[in-house]
Structure 1
Amino acid sequence: MISLVGGWLLWRLRPAAIAYVLVVQAVALALVVLVLLTSRSPLSHELVTFAMLAVTAGTVIVITSVSINVRRQIRRNPWTMHIAYLAAGILTLPPNLLVLLLLGPSLHGVLDGRPALHRWLFTTAATTIATLSARSVIGWEEPRWGPVLFVLAGAVLLLVRACLVAFGIRLRNPDAARQDVLGEPIDVLLGIVAASLGGLLAVAVSSEPSSALLAGPPLVLLDLASQLPQWRRSAQRDGKTGLANAAHWERLARSELDRAQSRAQPVSLLLLDLDHFKRVNDEIGHLAGDTVLAAVAMMLRSSVRRDDVVGRFGGEEFVVLLPGTEAEVACTVADRIRRSTAALSVPTRDTHGEHRELKDLTVSIGVATTFRFGYDLTDLLVAADAALLAAKSAGRNAVTLAS
């Protein structure tokens, strides 16, 4: 399970993240070896139970992977589906067969053809540690059954993996958004549903192993449900920057403006445009341009508050809504963004594959406030756009307040 560095982009991570990934994978590998060397030989009925669980899980994995590939969609981590049959395995199988059941997540990685293999191996290692931890709390050789232990095993399975993965994400990107680190509320709910399904499946296969086959359709539905946040975010987020796209940003902005108007609170709007961005695309390449956009988006998220609404309007234009902010503070925020942009150093490659370090990026920013233009979003955008044009005309790399 230990990632090879070459070609897997592992070397691009922060040193602390590289060390953490390797440690987690080494611990998982050591646990697997220990289990295989020390576990007793499985009994015949345990082999049958394993076969039924493995056939069901494998069939669902193949069907869902083929479906995703045929539709050319991007899959979110199918962890929710794996919870169900792994939870059943924790409750019914000896540790050595449970380890073999962990080949399911690895099979998903192969079928989905994930480009960052070190990430997939890391999450598989985290899954391995979480699964074996859950087994240890209910009895290593012979699991003890009972409602309390069912809940405890499910909680350990979910929490250990969540903590391992969240810590890795935070090390890789300290500025990552909270939902990127902890997941969304629906992820937690689906995890609980999956663990509960795994407990019911364990009860069923303990009396009749072939009943595992009946779990196929619910597992497929679980996988579809786990993709809902991805599909929703795809409709709401800009693919190159991860920020809200224009349509979603407008919905959020109008809602914030309505709330602020009802409370008589000020709101400011920043409209940003990267200066001479066309040169980057024309002289270095569009992939380099995409890298710059992603770097600017990350800088923007770290330069404003969590409740501020940041979006990409298309091309090299970004927009930020600042609730509860008057003109003076908004101009201070805009100038901080302007200076942060000028300080950016973006590593990328040109069209010849040669390494380039893009510096001297600048941005022009127009600022409009509700104090001057009211709470209508269109009016604010028009005013901010006029101020942006004034900043461009003044020589760029400037902040202008609409008046």
Structure 2
Amino acid sequence: MDEGKREGMPPSPGRSIGPASWAIRSIPRRLAAVLVSVEILAIAVVLTGGAVSASDVTTTGLWTIAVLAVAGMAHTEAALGVERMRRRVDQTPHMDLSSVWTFAAALLLPGCLATAVVLLVYLHLYLRAWRPSGFPVYRVVFSTATVVLAAHAAGVVVGLGGAAELFRSATGLVLLALAVLAYGLVNLVLVVAAIRMSGSGTSLLRAVGHRDELVLELTTLTLGAVVAAAVSAFGPALAVLVLPPLVVLHRTVLVRQLEEAASTDAKTGLLNAESWRLRAELALRAARHSGGTVAVLLLDIDHFKLVNDRYGHLAGDQILADIGAALRAEVRDHDLVGRFGGEEFVVLLTAADVDDLRTGAGAVADRIRCRIDDLRPEVPAPDGPVVVDDVSVSVGVATFPADGADLDRLIEVADAALYAAKAAGRNLVRHGLHTVDDPSASAPRPAHGS
């Protein structure tokens, strides 16, 4: 679960591999402090672990280092085609599954020797997969440091009972489970801390990751334990038997990522219109069966065409992305947020109580409106970066079942309420019911973005 497995860190600065790719000064100071602190801690842990004794450096130990490192490199080579495909469909970092080899090293080897496996595997991974993709060096160093610390944490747990008994008794299996927990938690906490300090507005739950990602990491660590058990019982050569299922697992991850790419709007990271509608239909159906309710919020950026005309479309794209991040930050993780098209966004809120949502949806909509009104995005312009201080949205709200029984009707009512907000002066929220007797609702509708 290294840093490359979570979104929210600053984007990679292109394909540069020179000083710019080291430029930690280009990221927020709080994040830089976290990264440097973790790296210093990793160095301190390795150094204070003491020099490797002669008893640690055995033929079996060296053979184990060599086999695990070579197997990790072979895994990277076998998965390069999958990795390149993943990079083509999505430039965000993702799971590399190398924990199989680093966790096995943590179970089988003393801390300093396990660190050697981590360094060899990650150096090769950087040279063959990350560097060609423009992955910045400071992120590679941080990823490696988190894995070193995680491996040492697992090694400490193993040391409580001894590696020899790890796979031979009930106590050993308990220690093995604790080692998995220690490795996973140390890595997760460090990664989440970095994401939260990145200034991306990522919520804690989103930083921790989707349940599927956590299950995948657990699966990877379990495979690492299988590798360690095979090596312990039959010798290091058995580690290569894990390579075929790992490549298959990589392809499974690729399929999931392709599905995500197909459902995501590239400019904002939100659901695209089609995916939002499909999921909203399912949520509405569930509410209908359970007696619950949903609310649809339709948002349109005020005077968005003027932004594009004045600053250019790159500036408009930056504002779209900032508003998308603001929307994600103001709703719950299970609420559906999508880009509906152009400068329009749509949100589906769910609740079990109809009355609570009717009042709550308006409050959420107004909170979103206020947050966006407070945005001061810095956007690119022909004469240099410019701070835009007049970004606002108008919002229309419709709730089920009061405003409609199906999704199309709810969107229609929310759209009418949105127009009423525009007609009333913009930067306002209007509920569907407010448009019923509103004479302006029957007037010709202007194009959104005006």
In the superposition, the TM-score normalised over structure 2's length comes to 0.78
Matched with 1:314 is: 341
- How many residue pairs align between the two structures? 399
**Partner in structure 2 of residue 378 of structure 1:** 408
For residues 204-227 of structure 1, the C-alpha deviation after alignment (integer angstroms, 9 at most, x for no partner) is: 233332222222212222333444
Answer yes or no: is the 8 Å Cα contact 2:205–2:333 preserved in 1. Answer: no
Q: Paired residue for 2:276, among 239, 242, 249?
A: 249
Structure 2 Cα separation of the partners of residues 306 and 101 of structure 1: 37
Deviation at 1:300, TM superposition (A): 1.7
Match of 2:372 among 324, 341, 345: 341
Counterpart residue number, 2:392: 362
Q: Give the alignment partner of residue 313 of structure 2, picking from 286, 289, 302.
A: 286
1:197 is aligned to 223
The answer to whether structure 1 residue 392 and structure 2 residue 400 are counterparts is no
3-state secondary structure, aligned to 1:121: helix
1:29 matched residue in structure 2:
43
Amino acid at match of 2:274: A
Q: CA RMSD in A?
A: 3.0
Instruction: Indicate which of 358, 361, 367 corresponds to 1:330.
Output: 361
Aligned equivalent of 1:64: 79
Question: What's the counterpart of residue 164 of structure 1?
Answer: 190
SS of residue in 1 equivalent to 2:97: helix
- Is 1:271 paired with 2:288? no
Looking at structure 2, the residues matched to 326 and 94 of structure 1 have their Cα atoms a distance apart, in angstroms, of 56
Relative to structure 2, which stretch is displaced further, 162-171 or 4-13? 4-13
Amino acid at match of 1:398: L
Q: Distance in 2 between matches of 1:330 and 1:79?
A: 36
**Which residues in structure 2 correspond to 1:291-306 (within 5 Å)?**
291-306=318-333
State the SS of the aligned residue for 1:360.
Answer: coil
Match of 2:66 among 40, 45, 51: 51
- Quick one: distance in 1 between partners of 2:161 and 2:370? 61
The aligned amino acid for 1:171 is M
Relative to structure 1, the CA distance from residue 276 to residue 116 in structure 2 (aligned partners, 3 Å threshold; closer, same or farther) is: farther
Mapped to 2, the partners of 1:70 and 1:229 lie a distance apart of: 12
Task: Provide the rounded CA distance (Å) in 1 between the counterparts of 2:49 and 2:81.
Answer: 32
In 2 relative to 1, CA 48–126 (structure 1 residues): closer, same or farther, beyond 3 Å?
Answer: same
CA contact (8 A) 1:80 1:194 kept: no
1:182–1:79 Cα change, 3 Å: same
Q: Provide the residue aligned with 1:89 in structure 2.
A: 105
1:137 to 157, 160, 165: 157
Q: Is the 8 A contact 2:298 2:346 kept in 1?
A: yes
CA-to-aligned-CA distance 1:217-246 (integer Å, 9 cap, x gap):
122223334445533332333222222221
Contact kept? 1:138, 1:144, Cα under 8 Å: no
Cα deviation 1:263-290 (Å, max 9, x = unaligned): 5445332211112223333432333222
Identify if the C-alpha distance between structure 1 residues 322 and 215 changes in structure 2 by more than 3 Å, giving closer, same or farther. Answer: closer
Q: Which runs of 5+ in 1 are unaligned?
A: none
Q: In the aligned structure 2, how far is the partner of 1:77 from the partner of 1:189?
A: 18
Q: Counterpart in 2 of 1:221? A: 248
Cα distance in 2, alignment partners of residues 379 and 284 from structure 1: 36
Partner of 1:108: 125
Q: CA deviation at 1:127?
A: 0.8
Which letter does structure 1 place at the counterpart of 2:106?
I
Against the structure 1 CA distance between its residues 149 and 116, is the aligned structure 2 distance closer, same or farther, given a 3 Å change threshold? Answer: same
Q: Is the 8 A contact 1:260 1:267 kept in 2?
A: yes
Amino acid at match of 1:131: A
Shift of 1:38: 4.2
2:142 to 100, 122, 128: 122
Alignment equivalent of 1:231, drawn from 258, 266, 271: 258
User: Is 2:129 aligned against 1:98?
Assistant: no
Shift in CA distance, 339/75, structure 1 to aligned 2, threshold 3 Å: closer
> Take 1:141 and 1:114, find their aligned partners in 2: how far apart are those partners?
43
The 1:116/1:389 distance shift into structure 2, 3 A limit, reads: farther
CA distance in 2, matches of 1:58, 1:326: 53
Distance of 1:328 and 1:198 partners within structure 2: 51
Q: Kindly provide the amino acid, as one letter, of the partner of residue 341 in structure 1.
A: I
Letter in 2 for 1:313: F
Cα distance, 1:61 vs structure 2: 0.8
User: How far is 1:76 from its partner?
Assistant: 6.7
How far apart are 1:87 and its partner, in Å?
2.3
The question of whether the paired residues in 1 share the 8 Å contact of 2:362 and 2:429 is answered with yes
What is the distance in 1 between the residues matched to 2:155 and 2:360?
A: 54
Aligned-residue offset at 1:100? 1.8
Q: Which letter does structure 2 place at the counterpart of 1:350?
A: A
The aligned residue for residue 209 of structure 1 is 236
Output one character per residue of 1:340-381: Cα deviation in whole Å (capped at 9) or x when no partner. 2222101232256x2221210121222223354322100111
* Structure 2: gaps (5+ residues): 1-17, 167-172, 437-450
**Distance change (3 Å), C-alpha of 1:75 and 1:214:** farther
